[in-house]
Structure 1
Amino acid sequence: MVSVERLESEPAEPGGPIARVLPMLTVPHLDREFDYLVTPEQAEHALPGTRVRVRFHGRLVDAFIWERRADTDHTGRLGRLERVISAEPVLTAEVRRLVEAVAARYAGSRADVLRLAIPPRHARVEREAVELPEAPVLEPVNPAGWQRYPAGGAYLAALEEGRAARAVWQVLPGDSWTDRFAEAAVAAIRAGRTALAIVPDQRDVDALSRAATARIDESAVVALSAGLGPATRYRRWLSVLRGGARLVIGTRSAVFAPLPELGLVMVWDDGDDSLAEPRAPYPHAREVAMLRAHLSGCAALIGGHARTAEAHALVNAGWAHDVVASRTVVRAAAPRVVALDDSGYADERDAAARTARLPAVALQSARTALAAGAPVLVQVPRRGYVPSLACGRCRTIARCRHCTGPLSLPERGGAAVCRWCGRVDPALRCGRCGSDSVRAVVIGARRTAEELGRAFPGTPVITSAGDTIVDRTDDGPALVIATPGAEPRTPNGYGAGLLLDSWALLGRQDLRAAEDTLRRWMAAAALVRDRDAGGVVTVVAESSIPTVQALIRWDPVGHADAELGTRAEVGLPPAVHIATVDGDVESVTALLEQARLPDGAEPLGPVPLPPGVRRPAGIGDESAVIRMLVRVGRDHGLALAAALRDSIGVLSARGSHRPVRVQIDPLHIG
C-alpha cells in the first residue's frame, strides 16, 4: 500500500500515476470508481479503457480503467493495480459515455451495461496479427430507390454531406429495405464516416450483409451476432475496434460496437421483441441507438413496414423527419387487401373451405394465384400443431395443474403438454365446469399445413416456422405456411396472402397487441405482388377494427399516430415513462419508501406478478411476488431512473432486503 504523500516522489508516468477504475461487481451500491496506484512497469499499458485486475475487499476482481489521473481525492492509502490483463483499450471514450447514458436511462449499473457492450476476452485472438484493409473506394449511390419517397432524396444527400440527418422511414411494399440501408451506409462512408445497422435476428443480418457486400468491399463489412462462436465474435469485434470496419451489421448487442467516427446508426423493424435485452438493465436497442446518435451527433434511421408509437413520437417531437411515400405511390405498390369475418365457415358450400378454415372468397384467391403459377403465403400466429387449448363447453383456457401454464397439443393424437413446465396431462378435464371435451384456441403452422394440403391436393406445401425456417422459395405454385417473421422470400413475390387467426394476435391482453399485429401483417403482405399484378391479401378479421382498416389503407403512420394518442389519454409509454418494480412485498415497499421520486410521480399497484413473467433472481417459489408501477411525465424519466437507482444502491448496501427487479419502459407491462 502507498500513501498519497508519496505520489509526488514517484517518477512521472503517462497520464498520471493514479488509475481510476470501475470494478465489475454485481452489487449495485459499489457502482462507482476507485483509485489505484499504477506502478512504473504498468504505466505504458494501463491506459484508459484497458482491462485490469485489482484487489477489492481481499479478493481479485476484473475492472476497467476509467481514466488516468495525477491526483486522488482518497485520503488513505492506495493499493496498486494487481496486473494489466490486456493492453488493448477495449472501452473507447465514446462507448464509455454511451454506457453511462444507458445506465442512467434504465436505472442500472454500469458494470451490467459493460457486460452487454464488451464481449469476453480471448487472449489468443488478441495476439493474432491484424492487417487493416485500405479504405474502400465506393461508387456514388444511385438515388432512384430513395427518390420514390418525397424526402428520401434529400435524406440521402444529407448523408453524403456528412450531416446528422435523422429519419423514420416507412418502406413501400415490394421495396428492398436491405438495398436502401446499404445505400445509406455507402453515402455515410463516402462522407468519411462509418455506419452501424441493428437488425432483429440472424436472418436479417445475412440479408443486409449480402446487400452491403454487393456495394462495399467485404473486408470493410463486419457482421456481429450472438450466433457466432466466442472466438469468432471477439475477433470480429476487435477488427471493428482497431479500425478495420466501415460498416457493422448486427443484432441488439452490436449497438455498442466501437466504431470510430460514427456517421450513421440504422435500426430495422424496431417493434420486434428481439431488440429488447432480457438481461439487466433491460435496454431496448432502438433507445440505445438513438442515445448514441444524440451523444455522437451522427445521423439516424429507423426503418420498417409498420411504425411503432416510440418511433412516431420522435417524429412528433421534431427529433426525426418523416420519410414516407405519397398515397398515389403507396396504392400502386401495395396489394389489394380484403377483410373477411371468420364466422360461418360451416355455412360455406365449398367443402374445401370448411376443411381449410377459410371463407370461400379467400380460398378462391389462393386458387387463382396457384393456377397462375404463383406461390401463396399463409401466415399463422403460432408454430406447432395446436399450441393452445380451451374447454369445449365453457371455453375456459386449459391450464396445467402444476404451474397453471397453457396446455397444447404438440402433434396429432398426442397428449396435452404444458408450454411452461413441459409436464404431460393425459386426461384433460376443465377445472371450471368439469367437461372433458377440448377445442383448439389457435391452430399451429403444422396443423394448418395439413388442412390446406387436403384442400389443395397435389400442391406442394412448405412450412417455415421455429427451427425449420425457409429463407427463400421458388416462383412456382406452392402453399407456404409460415409464422410471423419466418416468411420466405420469392423472386417475384407471392400471388396471394392469407392472414389467419387474426383474433389470436389482436385479442392479446397486451399494450402493444394492435401495433405488433399490424407490424406482422404488413411484413407478410409486403411480400405479395402489387394490385396491378393481381396480388391479393385476405385477412380473416372484421373490417371495422381500426388495425384492419390500417392494413386495408396501408396506413402505418395513421395507425401509429392514433396509437400514440390513445396511450397519451390513458398514460402509457411513450407518452409517459413507467417503471415496473418486481419483488416481494417488503423489498418493493422499502425500495419505494427510500426512493426520492420526482414531483408528480404516481405509484400504481401493487398487483401480483403477471402470468408468464419470470420471477426476480433470488426469490424462491415459496414467496409471493408483486409488481408496482411508478408513472411520471416525459420530462421526468431520468429523474425517476436516478431515484430508483439510488434507492437500489441504498438497500443493497444495507443487505436487509432481497433484490428487486426494476425495468424502465418495458415492452410488456402486464
Structure 2
Amino acid sequence: MSAGELSDVPADAEHGESAAPATEEPAAPASTCSCLDAEAPNGRAVAEVLLDSALPQLDHLFDYAVPEELAGELRVGQRVRVPFRNQQRKAFGYVIGFAETSSFGGELSPIADIVSPVPQLTPEVWRLARAVADRAGGSAGDILRLAIPGRQVRVEKQHLAAAGTPPEASAHAPAEPLDADSAAIAARLVTGERLALTATHSPERLSTGEWVGAWAIRLAHVAMAVHAAGKSAIVVLPDYRDQDQLQSALAALGAADVLRVDARQSNAERYGSFLQALDGVARIIIGNRSAVYAPAHELGAILIWDDGDPVLAEPLAPYVHARDAALVRAEQSGAGLFFAAHARSAEVERLTLIGYVQDQVNPPRRTRVIHADQSIAPDAFAGRVPDFAAKTIREGLRTGPVLVQVATPGYAPVSVCGDCGDLARCTACGGPIGFRTAGTAACRWCGQHAGGWACAGCGGNRLAERGMGSARTVEQFERQFRGFRVLLSDGDHPRERVDARPAIVVATRGAEPLAAGGYRAVVLLDAERLLSLENLRAGEDCLRWWENAAALAAPDGVCLMASGGGPVVQAFVTGRIDEWLHSELRDRQALRYPPAVRVASVTGGSAQVDRALAALRTPDTLAGVEVLGPTPVAASDPAARGAKLVRAIVRFEYARGSDVAKRLRGALVSDAAGASSRQKGRAPGRAVPEALRLRFDDRGVFDG
C-alpha cells in the first residue's frame, strides 16, 4: 500500500508521528561493521516501510519507491524518512523488506533519505515485534519503541569508525570453573528446551569479596555456559538491584562479552550497548523488561528472574509482559527458555503442569521458617511485635543484622474519622488518607494534602491513625530496642546493601537491602494486612514477597512469620508452595480466572464498546469466548474525568487468542480512524475520552 492511499486518514494524523530526535543527523558513510550486512534492494524497485507512528490505523506496511541514488546504501532494518500524505510532510519509519512490484496502482512516492546507515531493526526482532503486538491487539511500532533506543549520532559514528574489521568473540576463559549442574542446564537450553528452577536461598560471597544472592551466581553460571557454546544469552531481571548482583557475579566469574541495557543508563550508554548487540558476536545481554527485545547473534537462551514481579509487565501499550514476549521469541527462534525464582508465578506453574516447561529435579536449599503463636492476635501486644518475635530479633542482633519486613511505607497507612470511626477518604479522588509522616495526612492515591478534611458521615474533622507503616515501626523499634541501630529502607529511603554489624533493618516488601553474610533473622510482619488486599493474586504475591525476604537470611539464619494463618501462611511455613499453587490453579480453572484463561479488557464509551463486542458475536468465535459486562468505570486519566465510560471483560481460551485479538484490534482501528476518535477543539491527534482502549492479559482486571 502507498501513503497516497490514505485519503481517509484525518488531516491531523501526522501529529501522532514521532518527531525527529534532536540527536538525529544525516547518515554517516558506510562502514564494514558486521551489522550492515543486511538485505539490499538488489534491483527491486519497491521498499516496504513501517511508519513510526502511534496511530493504530497506520500499523501496516506502506510501499515506497527505491530511488536510484539510495539503492546502493539502502538496507532492510534501516531507519528512513518518507513523504507522508504529500511531499512536504515527512515521517520516520523502518525498511522491513523489498519487493519487485507493488499492489498499489498509482505512482509510488520515493524514500526521502536514510536516517542511519545502521540497520537498527533485525528481521528476528521485527518478527518478534509483529507477533507480540498481534497477540496483544497492539501496534508493532509501540513494541519497536521499547526495543530500539533513541539514536545517538556521536556514539554511532564512533562505533562505525571502530568497526573496520568484523568483531571477534573474546577468548577470555572464566576465572572460575562452571558448575556441572549449570553446564547441564545450558546444554539443554541451547537445544531449545524450556526449564523452570526454584532458586536456593541465602547470599553467597564472590571471589571479589562482594555478597550477592545465590540465584545470581546460578544465573551467571548458566548464561556463561550458554555463551561458551557459542550462543548469546539474554537475561531479563526486574530492577537495577537485581541487575547489579548478576553483573557482579558475571564479572567475578570472568565472563566476557557482557552487555547491559536498562533504563538507568544514559542514552549514549544504552545506544552504544545496542549497537554492540547488533554486531555478529555471541554475547551475554542483561537488562530490565525491554532486554527481551534486544538483538542477539545466535540466540541460545532467554533467562528470566522472578517473572512474578509486576515490574516486568510493560506499563505502556500494548502492555506486554516480558514473560509473554520471551515465550514468543523462544518459539520463533528455537532458543531455550529458563525461568528462575524463589517463588514461582502461577503462569509458570501452569506451564509446568501442562508439560510445556520442565520442572527442576533437585529441591533448593531453603531458610528455616518458623511461626509465632497464631492464637494471639498482633493487636494484643503493646509493641510492634509479639514477645516471641522480639526475642528472635534480640537473639539475631547478638551476631549480626536482622531484617523486619513491613507491609506499607510511611507513618500510618490509613486513617479514620476520630469521631465515628469511618475510613477517611480523599475529597478529590476518593482514595484512602494516610500519614506519610507523623502529623501529616495526605491521600495515598493523588497525594492531595488532607488539611480541612471533614467526614462525609458525621461531619467530624479529626483524623485518627490506624496501622503502622515503615516510619512508625522504626520509631517504635528505636524505643523498644534501645542501643541498636534501626535502619529504614523503603521507596523514599532506598538502601541496596547493609554491612554485617548488628542492626534492625525495617524494609517494605521489595525494598529489602542485601546484608553482608546474610541476616541472622528475618521477621515478617503484617501478614493479615497483605493477605487482605483486594487482589486476585494476593496469596501468590505474598508468597513471592516472603520467599524473597527469607532468601536474604544467612545459611544458618531463621525466618519468623510473626502472625497470621490460613492456607497461604501454612504453605510458606511448611515449604509446600507448589501444592498451594496447584490448588490455586484448580480454583482459577473452575472460576475461569487467569492464567487458566486469557482475558482482555475493552474500555471506552458505551457505543464504542458495543461496536467492539459486536465483532466477537459471530458463530465461529463464540465457542470458548465469554463477555462480562459492560459496566460503568471511572476514568483513570484526569483529563477524561467526567466522561461516561464502560468496560467489558472478554474471557477466552488460549487457542482463541489470535482470533479475539484480531477482531478487537480491527474494531480499535475502525474507531481510531473514524470520526468518533476525534473531537472539535481538542489537541490534534488526541482521542476523545470515550475512544476505545484494549488491554490484554491485565493482571489487575479482576481486582477489587
CA, structure 1 residues 596+44, in 2 after alignment: closer, same or farther (shift >3 Å)? farther
Q: Which residue, out of 35, 43, 53, partners 2:71?
A: 43
Shift of 1:575: 0.6
Equivalent residue in structure 2 for 1:102, among 121, 132, 136: 132
Q: CA deviation at 1:347?
A: 4.9
Residue identity matched to 2:362: A
Distance apart, 1:163 and its partner CA: 1.5
Counterpart of 2:644?
624
1-structure distance, mates of 2:177, 2:186? 10
Match of 1:318 in 2: 355
What secondary structure is seen at the aligned counterpart in 2 of 1:265?
A: strand
Instruction: Using the TM superposition, give the Cα deviation of residue 39 of structure 1 relative to its aligned residue in structure 2, in angstroms.
Output: 1.1
Q: 1:384 offset after TM fit, Å? A: 1.8
1:469 aligns with 2:494: yes
Asked whether the 8 Å contact 1:21–1:66 carries over to 2, the reply is yes
How far 1:651 sits from its partner (Å)?
Answer: 2.0
The equivalent residue for 1:308 is 345
TM superposition shift of 1:242 = 2.0
Change beyond 3 A, Cα 1:652–1:345: closer
C-alpha separation in 1, matches of 2:509 and 2:559: 15
Check whether the contact 1:403–1:421 (CA below 8 A) recurs between aligned residues.
Answer: yes
Q: Mark the CA change 1:555 to 1:156 in structure 2 (over 3 Å): closer, same or farther.
A: farther
Structure 1 342/107 Cα, relative in aligned 2: closer, same or farther at 3 Å?
A: farther
Letter in structure 1 aligned against 2:110: R
The answer to whether residue 552 in structure 2 is matched with residue 527 in structure 1 is yes
| AA aligned opposite 1:135 | S
Name the residue aligned to 2:563. Answer: 541
Stretches of structure 1 lacking an aligned partner (at least 5 in a row): 5-11, 349-353
Q: Deviations over 1:431-482 (max 9, x none)?
A: 2344555444442211111111110001011111114322221222110111
Amino acid at match of 1:631: R
Query: Aligned-pair distance for 1:223?
Result: 0.8
Measure, in 1, the Cα distance between the counterparts of 2:585 and 2:418: 38
Match of 1:497 among 522, 530, 536: 522
1:200 is matched with 238
Matched with 2:207 is none
Identify the residue that residue 576 of structure 2 maps to in structure 1.
555
CA distance in 2, matches of 1:509, 1:187: 43
| 1:394/1:575 CA distance change after superposition, 3 Å | farther
Residue 663 of structure 2 aligns to which amino acid in structure 1? A
Aligned counterpart, 1:638: 658
Question: Is residue 2:702 matched to residue 1:662?
Answer: no
Name the structure 2 match of 1:191: 229
Post-superposition offset of 1:157: 3.9
Matching residue of 1:410: 436
* Cα separation, partners in 2 of 1:584 and 1:342, compared to 1, 3 Å: farther
Say which SS state the counterpart of residue 279 (structure 1) adopts: coil
Q: Which whole-Å CA distance do the structure 2 matches of 1:246 and 1:201 have between them?
A: 21
Q: 1:238: which partner in 2?
A: 275
Q: Alignment partner for residue 615 of structure 1, among 637, 645, 655?
A: 637
| Letter in structure 1 aligned against 2:673 | A
Q: Is 1:292 aligned to 2:329, yes or no?
A: yes
Q: Is this contact kept in 2: 1:496–1:528, CA < 8 A?
A: yes
Aligned length: 633
Residue 198 (structure 2) aligns with: 170
Write out per-residue CA displacement over residues 238-296 of structure 1, whole angstroms, 9 at most, x where no aligned residue. 11112456111000111110111000101111111110111111100111111111111
Q: 2:506 aligns to what? A: 481
Pick aligned residue for 1:215 from 244, 253, 257: 253
Identical columns (%): 36
Q: Which residue of 1 aligns with 2:668?
A: 648
Deviation per CA, 1:512-560: give whole Å up to 9, x if none: 1110111001100111234xx3x332223333x1110111012332232
Secondary structure (helix, strand or coil) at the match of 1:425 reads coil
For the residues of structure 2 that align with 1:13 and 1:645, how far apart are their CA atoms? 32
**Separation (CA, whole Å) in 1 of partners of 2:563 and 2:511:** 22
Give the conservation status (yes or no) of the 8 Å contact 1:136–1:216. Answer: no
* SS class of match (1:239): helix
Question: Distance in 1 between the 2:42 and 2:696 partners?
Answer: 41
The offset of 1:427, in angstroms, is 4.2
Judge which range, 426-435 or 294-303, deviates more.
426-435
CA gap 1:278/1:344 in 2 versus in 1, 3 angstroms = closer
Q: Which residue type is aligned with residue 392 of structure 2?
A: S
Q: Distance in 2 between matches of 1:366 and 1:305?
A: 24
Who is 1:514 aligned against? 539
The answer to whether residue 58 in structure 2 is matched with residue 30 in structure 1 is yes
Kindly indicate whether the alpha-carbon contact (under 8 Å) linking 2:369 and 2:561 is maintained by their aligned counterparts in 1. no
2:262 to 225, 243, 246: 225
- The alpha-carbon deviation at position 386 of structure 1 amounts to 1.8
- Give per-residue Cα distances to partners, 1:172-207, cap 9 Å, x unaligned: 222611111111111111111000000011111111
Residue 137 in 1 paired to residue 137 in 2? no
Q: Are 2:316 and 1:283 equivalent residues in the alignment?
A: no
Matched, 1:64 2:94: yes
Which of 593, 603, 627 matches 1:572?
593
Distance 1:238 1:311 in 2: 32
Aligned-partner residue type, residue 234 of structure 2: L
SS at match of 1:529: strand
In structure 1, the residue matched to 2:397 is 370
Following TM superposition, by how much is the alpha carbon of 1:344 offset from its aligned partner in structure 2, in angstroms? 4.5
CA contact (8 A) 1:107 1:281 kept: yes
Question: Which shifted more, 424-433 or 510-519?
Answer: 424-433
Q: What does residue 338 of structure 1 align with?
A: 371
Q: Distance in 1 between matches of 2:459 and 2:374?
A: 32
Contact 1:15 1:68 in 2 (8 A): no
Which stretch has the larger CA shift, 246-255 or 128-137? 128-137
What TM-score, normalized by structure 2, do the two folds share? 0.85
Alignment partner of 1:91 is 2:121: yes
Deviation at 1:346, TM superposition (A): 6.2
Counterpart amino acid of 2:196?
Answer: V
CA, structure 1 residues 345+50, in 2 after alignment: closer, same or farther (shift >3 Å)? closer
The alignment partner of 2:668 has SS state of helix
CA contact under 8 A between 2:369 and 2:573: conserved in structure 1? yes
* Aligned partners of 2:630 and 2:648 also within 8 Å: yes
**C-alpha distance in 2, partners of 1:314/1:549?**
24
For the 8 Å contact 2:56–2:668, the answer to whether it is kept is yes
> Secondary structure of 2:498's partner?
coil
Q: Does the aligned pair in 2 maintain the 1:141–1:187 contact within 8 Å?
A: no
Distance 1:254 1:344, change over 3 A: closer
Offset of residue 26 of structure 1: 2.4
* Shift of residue 595, structure 1, vs aligned partner: 4.5
Residue 188 of structure 1 contacts residue 195 of structure 1 at CA under 8 Å; is this kept in 2?
A: yes
Q: What displacement does 1:301 show?
A: 0.6
Task: Give the letter for the 1:628 counterpart.
Answer: A
- CA deviations 1:276-323 (Å, max 9, x no partner) are 111111100111111111111011111110011101111112121111
Shift of 1:130: 3.2
Q: Deviations over 1:195-220 (max 9, x none)?
A: 000001111111111111223445x1
Residues 226, 90 of structure 1: CA spacing in aligned structure 2 closer, same or farther, 3 A cutoff? same
Counterpart of 1:452?
477
- Unaligned 5+ runs, structure 2: 5-39, 204-213, 678-689
Structure 1 segment 389-404 matched on structure 2, within 5 A: 389-391=415-417, 396-404=422-430
How far apart in 2 are the matches of 1:224 and 1:153?
A: 25
- For 1:199, give the aligned amino acid: L
Q: Is the 8 A contact 2:186 2:223 kept in 1?
A: no
| Corresponding residue of 1:351 | none
